[in-house]
Amino acid sequence: MAQSAELLSLSPPGWGGNLLRGLSHSLQIAFGAYALGLVIGLFGAYGKLYGGKVTRDLLAIYTTVIRAVPELVLILILYYVGSDIINKISTAMGGGRVEINGVAAGIWVLGIVQGAYATEILRGAIQAVPPGQIEAAKSYGMPALMTMRRVTIPAMMSFAVPGLANLWLIATKDTALLAVVGFNELTLETRQAASSTRAYFTFFLAAGFLYLMVTLCSGGIFARIEKWARRGQPSLKGGSR
Amino acid sequence: MIDFRSLMQPHRIVMMLIFVGIVVWCAVSLQWDWIPKYAPLALQGIWTTIWLLVVTIVLGFLLAVPLGLAQAVGPWYLAAPAKTFCTIIRGTPLLLQLWLLYYGLGSLFPQFPWIRSSELWPYLRQAWPYAVLALTLSYAGYEGEVMRGAFKGVAKGQLEAAKSFGMPRLTMFRRIWLPQAIRNVLPTLGGETILQLKATPLVATITVVDIYAVSSRVRSDTFIVYEPLILLAVFYVLVAGVIALAFHWLEVKVLGTGSRNGVVG
């Protein structure tokens, strides 16, 4: 026990600082990817519902393919494509090869993956809003953006929050996959600490505890958000998932 | 399902032509000469991926049934551990669980002489038992939660009717409770099975040679980046499609025998 505490201490002989730095990287990537995913999802959902035929078909291909291919494979493909494009642009503009920022690359890669799931969640939520409400807004002559801001988004929130909560948990757990491409997030920091001290159980259990804390705290926060989104609605009995 | 008429709209025909064009361009201008050399290895990798998927789903589901039952109707001393297990599995990344088992147990076992001298030792030195264990526990954790809802969702009247017929508890479970619960969650199980397929490439990080590992090997041997990854993505899309179709067929079959609406075609 004392030995484990020493290994996990925050100052340099211990590796606790490294784990916390990894956690902060993981959270940064998760926040960024989630935000990017929500933006893509909002546009995607509107495109799927109100877009032209071609837009709809292209979005259908996007969500189907992204949800059928393992995240690990997508991460590799998007990572190579992204770094290739950036390097092409950089050499065309006369610069040399660019060193890619790990956090930015992680956000770009996971954001595109999250966008596919968010599209489906938000599309379902918008469809669940009674059409009369949106029609009423239109008949008042509200511009489309204002309808979205004042009617559609507030009304769909209560339908979207459970799915979005799940998506956030997926985002935090998917950051671990970036360890495979060598980003210094929590899982990779843990593995490095574990393999240099040979104390595998201590470090992996500590990291598991950190992930679990993130999950449980997010669960609490999302429960409050859901309560807020449902304010004024009749309460629903039953399990939440 | 997609029928022929819906594909024959002008914009879809144009899109299909563009798609065919992209495929032809890929076939002509990308590098495919490495395929014959790596084909046998790739077949082995595909086989590894498939059996890992099937074995862990079957074992995981067998574990998920008692986990779900304990949470739905069990006494607190069974429900609490089951709930804790599901929360931990669902709250931490699978990659971390896999590495904890492989590196953690893998470094612990050799310290005990009786394990090293046991008959199981040749297997415990390999990576695949840890992969099977981690994937099974993960599937069990997610499905335990699904089955909890499923067992709770079976109508009370059904169980009461069975009881009033004097059916023994085990027969009631086998004939009425479990089939109804599985029937209710069949669509969810289909989605979860595709999620499990997408989790299998993680085993490549602990040296199990599945199809993902083969593609990484091609990349590191030949420095060809995109071609193996494209084929890999196509493979997973195809398998996911087969799983979706299989579950669709199962749903029609299972739900079709229950309803006499005649919509089953």
Res. B200 pLDDT band, cuts 50 70 90: very high
* Closest CA–CA distance from residue B10 to any residue of chain A (Å): 10
Which pLDDT score, from 0 to 100, does residue B2 have? 57
Compare B261 and A218 and report the one with higher pLDDT: A218
State whether B15 and A54 contact (CB < 8 Å).
yes
State whether B229 and A173 contact (CB < 8 Å).
no
The backbone torsions φ and ψ at residue B130, rounded to the nearest 5 degrees and listed phi first, read: -70, -35
A229: its two tokens: 């989104």
- If one looks up domain B32-258 in CATH, what number appears? 1.10.3720.10
Which pLDDT score, from 0 to 100, does residue B98 have? 92
For B37-48, how does the pLDDT look when each residue is reduced to its tens digit (9 = 90+)? 888 899 999 999
Q: Return d(Cα A123, Cα A40) in angstroms, integer.
A: 12
State whether B201 and A70 contact (CB < 8 Å).
yes
Q: Is the dihedral of CA A42, A44, A50, A51 positive or negative?
A: positive
Say which of B87, B145, B237 has its CB closest to residue A69. Answer: B237
Compare B200 and A86 and report the one with higher pLDDT: B200
Tell the burial category of B40 from Cβ atoms under 10 Å away from its Cβ (0-12, 13-18, 19+). Answer: exposed
Q: Taking residues B254-259, what's their average pLDDT?
A: 59
Which pLDDT score, from 0 to 100, does residue A240 have? 46
Mutation for A interface: B11, B95, B218, B239, most A CBs within 10 A: B95
pLDDT by 10-residue block (mean), chain A, 241 residues: 66 76 91 95 91 88 90 88 85 75 85 93 91 90 89 88 90 89 84 84 89 92 88 61 44
Which pLDDT score, from 0 to 100, does residue B133 have? 93
Which pLDDT score, from 0 to 100, does residue A239 have? 46
Which pLDDT score, from 0 to 100, does residue A43 have? 92
State whether B92 and A211 contact (CB < 8 Å).
yes
State whether B232 and A212 contact (CB < 8 Å).
no
Q: How far, rounded to the nearest angstrom, does the alpha carbon of residue A175 sit from its chain's CA centroid?
A: 9
pLDDT of B189 strictly over 70: yes
Query: What integer best gives the mean pLDDT of chain B?
Result: 86
State whether A241 and B145 contact (CB < 8 Å).
yes
Which pLDDT score, from 0 to 100, does residue B88 have? 92
CB of B103 within 8 Å of a chain A CB? The answer is yes
Domains identified in chain A and CATH numbers: 2-229 (1.10.3720.10)
Q: Return d(Cα A132, Cα B4) in angstroms, integer.
A: 35
- The whole-model pTM stands at 0.86
Partner A, chain B 193-252, Cβ-Cβ below 8 Å: 194, 197-202, 205, 212, 225-226, 229-230, 232-233, 236-237, 240-241
Which pLDDT score, from 0 to 100, does residue A11 have? 65
Task: Among B54-68, B127-141, B170-184, name the one with the lowest average pLDDT.
Answer: B170-184
Q: What percent of chain B has pLDDT over 70?
A: 95
Which pLDDT score, from 0 to 100, does residue A79 have? 85
Compare B114 and B219 and report the one with higher pLDDT: B219
Which pLDDT score, from 0 to 100, does residue A8 have? 67
For B94-124, how does the pLDDT look when each residue is reduced to its tens digit (9 = 90+)? 999 999 999 888 877 777 777 777 777 777 7
Which pLDDT score, from 0 to 100, does residue A214 have? 92
